Amino acid sequence: MTEADVTYADVKFNKSRARENVASEESTYSEVKISNKHPPVSANCAENIQPPGSSKRSKVTSERLVLLVLIGLLVASLAALGVTYETCLKCGAGWELHGGTCYKFNTNKSSWTESRDSCQDLGGDLVKIDGREEQMFLEEKLRGLMEEAEDKFWIGLTDSELEGRWLWVDGSPLDESLKFWWNKEPDDWKGQNPAGEDCGRMGEKGGASDLKCWFDRSCNDPHKSICEKTAVSGQTSCVCV
């Protein structure tokens, strides 16, 4: 320890003693050395010393960052769920979903008009076939539902207003480039009914060549039928498309 590191101080100690009832005081002086130099701090200790509150602030910042990330993920999940919910489609019991449309293959036999009324009571109508893919789907389904050759299904096609002018139930004319009549159908055969055959039916138990399985028939004959209606979106149990 150098001289510069030492501070000298005089300390006075008082002693009292009685001598012949006369109080006297003796003073004793002692030299005390006080170092002005603090003990050295190791490098490792110095590095570990942090400003007051810094550890707490770091912990709070980390927790806040994690919370923000979790909130972001939750918002993204809810957004994705909303899109999925809006694009979900469902059909009621007894209906089959295909391409955004619900189909019901009614196995109860009735006239064309009665069959259409039944479909409308269920919120739909007799099926209108809008494309080859839809025809393919229906033709394949009917193969498994038909029990015999004449076990065919009514579709929403008729020329009852004007012979030879075939219309769908929504009033639209049959597209000449999109028709699936079998062989020489329609032939308006009057052998069993003088009024002829003014309603369309479909089905070929063994499978149809090039999907051609439409036939005209008297509207009064009892047949099974195919109903259709638009699928409903946003249901609890649904198929996402």
> Does 104 map to a domain?
yes
> Does 76 map to a domain?
yes
- Among 46, 68, 86, the domain boundary falls at 86
The total domain count for the chain is 2
Q: 77 and 93 in one domain?
A: no
Q: 121 and 79 in one domain?
A: no
pLDDT at 164 over 70: yes
Q: 71 and 102 in one domain?
A: no
Q: Are strands 223-230 and 153-158 parallel, antiparallel or unpaired?
A: parallel
Q: 170 and 216 in one domain?
A: yes
> Does 47 map to a domain?
no
- Among 69, 86, 103, the domain boundary falls at 86
Report the pLDDT averaged over residues 223-230: 97
> Does 48 map to a domain?
no
Closest CA to 14 of 3, 1, 30, 2: 30
Q: Which domain holds residue 14?
A: 3-38+57-86
Q: 92 and 82 in one domain?
A: no
Q: 202 and 137 in one domain?
A: yes
Lowest mean pLDDT among 53-62, 84-93, 195-204, 218-227: 53-62
Q: 186 and 162 in one domain?
A: yes
Q: 118 and 78 in one domain?
A: no
Report the alpha-carbon distance of residue 196 to residue 221 in Å, rounded. 12
Banded model confidence at residue 142, pLDDT cuts 50, 70, 90 = very high
Report DSSP letters for the chain, one per residue. --GGGEEEEEEEEEEEEEETTEEEEEEEEEEEEEE-PPPPPPHHHHHH---TTHHHHHHHHHHHHHHHHHHHHHHHHHHHHHHHHHTEEE--TT-EEETTEEEEEEEEEE-HHHHHHHHHHTT-EE----SHHHHHHHHHHHHHH-SSTT--EEEEEE-SSSTT--EETTSPBPPTTS--B-TT------SS-TT---EEEE--TT--GGG--EEEE-TTS-EEEEEEEEPEES-SS-EE-
Q: 213 and 112 in one domain?
A: yes
> Does 219 map to a domain?
yes
30-47 residue pLDDT tens: 444 444 455 554 445 445
Q: 75 and 132 in one domain?
A: no
Closest CA to 140 of 153, 124, 122, 126: 153
This model's pTM is above 0.85? no
